[in-house]
Amino acid sequence: MISHPSRWLGPGLRTAALLLSCAAFAACQPPAEDLPLPTTEEVESYYEYASGLDAEVVGNVAVITVEQSAQQLRRGGRLWAMVGPYIFLFTEETRRLFEDYPGLAAVRVNTRVGSAQVATALLARDELPDILWRRSLNIAGKARRDGTQQMTLLEDLVEWGEAHTEHEYNERFIRR
């Protein structure tokens, strides 16, 4: 009978081996200050939106603020108030921003009407592995393309967004 290799090492040696392997892994990682972050102008250049878009970088988070149409919210109500941030977060632009700037930890999208914030959602860099990014782009693309005729696509995007972001909605805009 062959015994398991971990039995060959005593508890102290197993702990030392684990610590040594963790230290070796950490030594191979580049220091955080070496990871590039985008400038405000670079973040803005990734997104195109005619109705007004502002960007800033706060620490290692890109914050995008988008003006949402009051008429759109009146017409679309609660659902349009909730879907706003996800329309911008789950895009090829956000994915490329994460790929191009390894120091970027998250992207936050705030939607507003005038000075009132409607909704906010924060997508962390490591939330979506490649397969989920593809799914995200598919869900959001269908919602952008066909959501006005098929409201369930917008509902699907909201549900997906809530499952994969830290989000908050202004009660004033989502009351039934």
Locate the domains of the chain by residue range. Answer: 36-174
Angstrom distance (rounded) from CA 169 to CA 91: 20
Residue 116's alpha-carbon distances to 69, 140, 166, in angstroms, are: 12, 25, 19
Are residues 119 and 168 in contact, defined by beta-carbon separation less than 8 angstroms? yes
Give the pLDDT band (50/70/90) at residue 75: confident
Distance of CA 147 to the CA centre of its chain: 21
Higher pLDDT, 77 or 52: 77
DSSP E strand stretches across 104-145: 106-113, 116-124
Are residues 173 and 118 in contact, defined by beta-carbon separation less than 8 angstroms? yes
Instruction: State residue 170's pLDDT score.
Output: 95
**pLDDT tens track for 84-141:** 999 999 999 999 999 999 999 999 999 999 899 999 999 999 999 999 999 999 999 9
Q: List the Cα angle 135/139/143 in 5-degree steps.
A: 165
Pairing state of beta strands 61-67 and 106-113? Answer: parallel
Ramachandran region, residue 116 (left: φ > 0; alpha: ψ -120 to 50; beta: rest): beta
Pairing state of beta strands 106-113 and 53-58? Answer: unpaired
